[in-house]
A and B are shown apart, each in its own frame.
Chain A
Amino acid sequence: GQQLNQSPQSMFIQEGEDVSMNCTSSSIFNTWLWYKQDPGEGPVLLIALYKAGELTSNGRLTAQFGITRKDSFLNISASIPSDVGIYFCAGQSFQGGGADGLTFGKGTHLIIQP
């Protein structure tokens, strides 16, 4: 199935550093979402974006919905050990084809060295 282009695939950073990851698509989406998944668990919603150009924060997390509606980024400031995990972007469109299911990226694996 179709997937979004998410980068980087993995990041090795020091505790306290800022993190940036992004997602691009060849298709337009009406909604962009960012999830975090820990091993053996389901994805947990971090931020939902509904409008092109929207910039939304959730604590140390900030995400933006790209103006073209084909991309989004997620920033994490001052990373801490519990930020370790896999971060997924997901896009949702509401076209006539009934594409209400989310399209996910392959994930960014964040590893933090103390």
Chain B
Amino acid sequence: DTGVSQDPRHKITKRGQNVTFRCDPISEHNRLYWYRQTLGQGPEFLTYFQNEAQLEKSRLLSDRFSAERPKGSFSTLEIQRTEQGDSAMYLCASSYTGSQPQHFGDGTRLSIL
């Protein structure tokens, strides 16, 4: 059983560019979550999906951010017009149900030049 997989592991881009990250959850996990982690801080919740439905968005998720999970399996997180403050580790987690523990991937580290 493979764990949560995230791609790419690292992304370096210039300010103003768009970036897209992908997350493949653990097979048969219905819940998929996105978090952002900056240096010296714990992860902060961004949004989550129950199958293909996006059920909750944090206030941290500005309108430049969009997430999708079209077929209820993998998910993508897109950031448009990136800013310096978007530099962070973006973590994906999945769980079988909302009350089951969340298991994390190794994240995508985004650096904005």
Contact = CB atoms under 8 A, between A and B. Distances in A.
Interface of A: 1, 3-4, 6, 31, 33, 35, 40-45, 48, 50, 88, 90, 94, 98-107
Nearest to A48: B101
B45 A103 contact: yes
Contacts of A90: 42
A45 B48 contact: no
Interface in B14-57: 31, 33, 35, 40-48, 55-56
Given A1-B45, A101-B58, 12 more contacts: A1-B44, A42-B93, A42-B105, A42-B106, A45-B103, A94-B98, A101-B45, A101-B56, A102-B33, A106-B40, A106-B41, A106-B42
B12 interface: no
B60 A1 contact: yes
A43 B98 contact: no
A44 B56 contact: no
A44 to B, nearest CB: 7
Contacts of B60: 1
B71 interface: no
A102 B102 contact: yes
Given A1-B45, A103-B45, A45 B58 contact: no
A20 B98 CA distance: 29
B56 A104 contact: no
A88 B42 contact: yes
A45 B101 contact: yes
A41 B107 CA distance: 7
B25 to A, nearest CB: 13
Nearest to B43: A104
A88 B43 CA distance: 9
Interface string B1-12: 000101000000
B11 to A, nearest CB: 14
A31 B99 contact: yes
B104 interface: yes
Interface string B41-81: 11111111000000110111000000000000000000000
A105 B42 contact: yes
